[in-house]
Structure 1
Amino acid sequence: MKPLQLPATASAVLSFDFDGTLHDPSAQPPVWADFFVLIQQLRTEKNAIWGINTGRSMPQVIDGFIESRFPFLPDFVVAREREIYFPNPLGRYLPHTEWNKKCEKEIRRLFKKSRKLLDSIRKDIEEHTGAQWVETSGDPAGLISRTDEEMDWIEQRIRNLAAENPKLSWQRNSIYLRFGHLDFQKGSSLTEVASNFKIAAPQCFAIGDSHNDLAMLDSTHAGMIACPGNSVEAIKTKVLASGGFLAKADHSAGAIEALRHYFHV
């Protein structure tokens, strides 16, 4: 797989969450072939740049492309909701070094400063729920709850406990939660990508289905926001309240519906 040839001057940036928004594991293929046909049309007629903005790690992203039978690569990837990568002409993704280094430096600094607070949150959550605390390389603090309802309670609890440190943030996707830095998430990463192509927020399109997409679905980062029909209620509420587009169709069919709504193709 290789990326499409970039336009001489980009006119729009399209940002897609992957799991739940484009990728439907129960479908074959998991992403509709018509989606890629439309992306090619938008590249030709609208000079659109497109990419994936996901909580997956970069190796998991590549696995998703193969599983979903991508005929060509996206023009950018935001992995783990914060790391930015651009493909070279041969299809190898290279890190956006300045952004990624700054991101990791600030996150390490924040976690060091917040160690006692995170320990307190962990103790409180483990005492009151059956959630599992997770520590991995690059993501030193996270949670996996037993149910969505349990995670609803946990998220509110964290919101109360973490009020003393406004830079400590978190990204949630269903029963999974990852702690991070308020300044480095899907929305700020989209803005950084757009600036690389000299595109302002009003010319950015973003679509997502779950809680970790909330930061991206904001006028600060995207003037065109949408969600597929299978989105969680918090996302639907956010999109509708912001004057965005709520598709009737699910997954990639919903993404197609939203693109046609905004770009009139």
Structure 2
Amino acid sequence: MSARKPTFILSFDFDGTLVHPESTPIFHPMLGQMIQQLRTQGAAWVINTGRSLPQTLQGLAQYGIFMEPDYIIAMECDIHKPGLFSKWTDFGPWNKQARKAHERFVKEHRASLDAIRHMVESQTQAQFLAGEYGELGIVGSSEEELDAICAYIDTHATQFPDIGYHRNGIYLRFSHSGYSKGTALSELARLLGLTANHCFAAGDNLNDLSMLNPLHARMIATPGNGLPAVKQHVQNHGGFVATRYASEGMIEALSHFFGGQKA
């Protein structure tokens, strides 16, 4: 576990950043050792992911990562901390605020969301998904198709800035624009008495861009398998672009920012 009062944060996306199923190993044990060493020096280890909390815990077990994170930011927004007997609980009021904001977002922007749904169902081969708990999303038939859909969504967002979304490949989930991996990271930092100056963030996909932002983390990185747009973004903001994939790239990134052994 990290020090009782963390002095800095290590925030990692999970799929494609910490783990890469097509790599050998999927998760390099040296990265685990580096994270543990940095925890002894005051780091709080955070997994910041689009996965749900149960999916994140399942992924850790599936890939043999038997270190418990200090915090998990799940669904690109919800902040959780370990509770008694390893039960994970909300950390602060943020999650409740996010849920209420999403409910207002869906209610207040129904006309725009209906127009977007009509466009998707009438002009594309994509699927518009609506869950029983108010979740709304789109699955594109290709990334190019979703590019065009996102461009259409963005025309609505110029008029209604609350309209936001998280995108990963051909998958998109709508959200209130004020709640993202980036804003959740800043809220976690605030709760810990820290600032963006004390935050390291790493990710490989489009839904990571919100936390790969100096407003939320002054130390940013992407692995060698990061999307070209993510690599360009990180370079433009003075971050570190690794040459190796996923966990091996994160070994490079931690070595760059914090020193220590290189692979």
TM-score by shorter chain over 0.5: yes
Q: Which residue of 2 aligns with 1:40?
A: 36
Q: Which residue of 2 aligns with 1:116?
A: 111
Q: Give the aligned residue type for 1:260.
A: S
- State the SS of the aligned residue for 2:31: helix
Q: Which residue of 2 aligns with 1:127?
A: 122
- Most deviating of 231-240 and 84-93: 84-93
Over 3 Å counting, the alpha-carbon distance change for 1:137 and 1:15 in structure 2 is farther
Q: Which residue of 2 aligns with 1:218?
A: 213
- Most deviating of 6-15 and 180-189: 6-15
Over 3 Å counting, the alpha-carbon distance change for 1:177 and 1:139 in structure 2 is farther
> Could you give the per-residue CA deviations for residues 114-141 of structure 1, whole angstroms, max 9, x where no partner exists?
1111010110122221001111244521
- State the SS of the aligned residue for 1:170: strand
Q: Which residue of 1 aligns with 2:247?
A: 252
> Could you give the per-residue CA deviations for residues 166-206 of structure 1, whole angstroms, max 9, x where no partner exists?
11101100000011011110001001111222111011000
Structural mapping, 1:19-38, within 5 Å? 19-27=15-23, 29-38=25-34
Alpha carbons 1:36, 1:71 under 8 Å: kept: no
Q: Which residue of 2 aligns with 1:149?
A: 144
Q: Give the aligned residue type for 1:21.
A: T
**What CA distance in whole angstroms lies between the structure 2 residues aligned with 1:89 and 1:72?**
17
- State the SS of the aligned residue for 2:204: coil
- Most deviating of 87-96 and 18-27: 87-96
Q: Which residue of 2 aligns with 1:86?
A: 81
The partner residue of 2:155 within 154, 160, 173 is 160
**What CA distance in whole angstroms lies between the structure 2 residues aligned with 1:57 and 1:31?**
20
Q: Give the aligned residue type for 1:207.
A: A
Q: Give the aligned residue type for 2:6.
A: A
Q: Which residue of 2 aligns with 1:15?
A: 11
Stretches of structure 1 that go unaligned for 5 or more consecutive residues are none
> Could you give the per-residue CA deviations for residues 91-118 of structure 1, whole angstroms, max 9, x where no partner exists?
2211125111111011101110011110
- State the SS of the aligned residue for 1:94: strand
**What CA distance in whole angstroms lies between the structure 2 residues aligned with 1:206 and 1:97?**
21
**What CA distance in whole angstroms lies between the structure 1 residues aligned with 2:70 and 2:59?**
15
Q: % of aligned pairs identical?
A: 40
Structural mapping, 1:96-115, within 5 Å? 96-115=91-110
Alpha carbons 1:191, 1:201 under 8 Å: kept: yes
* 2:172 is the counterpart of 1:182: no
Alpha carbons 1:17, 1:54 under 8 Å: kept: yes
- State the SS of the aligned residue for 1:206: strand
- State the SS of the aligned residue for 2:61: helix
Over 3 Å counting, the alpha-carbon distance change for 1:139 and 1:228 in structure 2 is farther
* 2:44 is the counterpart of 1:55: no
**What CA distance in whole angstroms lies between the structure 2 residues aligned with 1:109 and 1:209?**
30
Post-superposition offset of 1:77 = 0.4
Q: Give the aligned residue type for 2:135.
A: P
Alpha carbons 1:117, 1:162 under 8 Å: kept: no
RMSD, aligned CA: 1.3
Ranges of 4+ aligned residues in structure 1 off by more than 3 Å: none
Stretches of structure 2 that go unaligned for 5 or more consecutive residues are none
The partner residue of 1:192 within 178, 187, 210 is 187
Alpha carbons 1:139, 1:178 under 8 Å: kept: no
Post-superposition offset of 1:67 = 0.8
Post-superposition offset of 1:162 = 3.2
